[in-house]
Chain A
């Protein structure tokens, strides 16, 4: 009597041939002292899957209207069986997802994994990161609590600083001139339909590109093994099982955070109340927030806020286009770009810390 796994393998091979399985089992992952960074992509993917699953569960009870949103989240947290866990994991996982995505992106940058032929892998990754930020921004408003309401008011107000189309953007995202029920409905639409559809497509493309080109070996490792093959291990099962361990550990961290530090709901939003003191965006927007606070009212001939938005817009565009700017990663330009990137990381950390402590 053959084993079940063998029976399944034969069943699969009888229909799809041996190509796919052979490719997976023969696919190799480089093994060196930077290998640990390879796991961050899988970790981010796992957290995204957690978001999708918990998000679908939350959808069963959540109601996207100003009169019901807060109460429905309150109901989920207090009355629905394990609703607290689902909401807690969704909220914590959203933050961990952006954290791991950030680490993944910066490690990819510092290891120069965007080099030819992986330009598109880098670009799809950047787009995914921006989509995750969009998820975070749109999801933050959905519980319709005071903090979220006013943070969204401040956050969307920045859109008005975008040259030419600023006011149009503001009206489009708010569904009017102010943050109202129309904004909530729009943000809900973005959060559960538009962003998931886009993200699924871009995640698909990103994963395909990662599998197609395989893992990039950092230039320093390449130099170490100049003419020798870089040590490696199999994608399936060695890398995949280690990935799985990471996913389980992430699940443990999520469960611990959700159980020990329940994500608080706060007080229901009152659009007629004055803006409370100390309104701040989520931690991943703090550096933007702090920078815009520091920019003077007028820079050269344009308004300070508009100047800030333009600079950040330009920086984000250059960030996405790095593979085309850094054509010789080991040359002077390459080193300069690494230096600028490292400065950007330190800047983001310092500004976030400053904003968080002030």
Chain B
């Protein structure tokens, strides 16, 4: 329609007004956008740039190689082995099921691992490698490498995993490593970031756990640039970590292996010390288990076998187990009395087979009685009444003081798990723990190592070493760390009258070498290596008066778990003590029959640093020993195997 000129002018004027208004508004808005830009880009720039950097840079940890553990002669006890595993990257694989099917034709795939891998794969971004087979053999690894073109996205990878070449021999000493659990994390205050790496392994028991800090090393870091979904684009910076410290133990691998084989399936423990320095040459508990099982993750069935076994393979009896020391405690009672000057080694006591103490009858193990006994004969034949009399004169305070000086009731500082304190009972202890006053009957019981007193095989070995040398020997397990010597300072003398010590040692010599000694059957006839020892048989049950009247049941007729513990401690050579040994056979029966033969074999093995000549044994034992040596030799590790590769 036609518009009049006036209307045209009016229309134009109105449009001009309105559009200038709106245009102004638009420019105003654009100005505001400009101000917003200024605010974000200039005023807040530093803060946002920092945020961008945080977005972009990701710090990844490089796990350090765990410190390896060697024996005193440089043989490997725990080392890191390359382990091969297969990973798959979903986005590279394309058809994952097809690739896995092809892989299954090449290597054996474990259903459980596979199941877990599939779950993990569904949850992770497609570029993340997922482990589908762990610990495959080198042969399987090469099969995969050869068929690589048919397996897109599959990569064989090499990692380090802990390996214990001697299996069960060091299981209780060194322990084992395993993946960090939530429980582990909850116990550690301010845990190292390393521990958060999935499947990172830390020491769970033994030296591996106690020296974790040293063995673990320091993590290296890798600064990588990542994109929004976490894919690594490139490496910006790399700082190498520090591998864990190499440790050398005082243990002699060959001796340790021998002792383990010698203990066999018995529920037993044995400790061999260097009598002068306290270095632990071997420390075994049997039966044992293969720590390598725990590294890979033990199966439920295997674990149940271990926990349900009544011989308790998982327990480290040499330091965790505490036993009434029985007659091996008699040296303590004797020394306490001698040091008090109340008794002379020549003084005699009449043993009628029992002693009445405050209306209670304490029996000697020999019901007919020993007759007149002095220190030498009483210890030799292990007369109980003699020590009852000594104890009544000297009192519990002096006895427990002496026990303490000889190392009983002391928790020694060695890096093993659950090192027990044992129990060296005193009046105060009974009052505070048992809520009852000490009575004289308690003293009588303690005098022959029964009643309240408890000691671990390690403590008994330390006691024997102290008796043998008169030095305040402390046990040690670590010889060096990263080549740096960790030997303890020379032990100081115990300040016990040497004549008294010599009297006790003489009596111990008689135990093993006199025709009437309780361990005469397990003597060493090689003059240079004669040993001095003491048997012990500790009751794990109370013998009631009715039982005693009916005649004490023979150990062999009792069920296993109610038989007496058999103990034996010794040192050798008698003239110049080098080693101290303690052996405990749980429910073994008598110390002279169950523990002493084992202790003698171990002693000889330690002194000769290998199989001793048969001449060292009494003639009638030699055939048996020859067969036994033959049998054990087959169980021993290759003497040159696993020699240390780095200093």
B is bound to A:
no
B residues contacting A by CB (< 8 A) are none
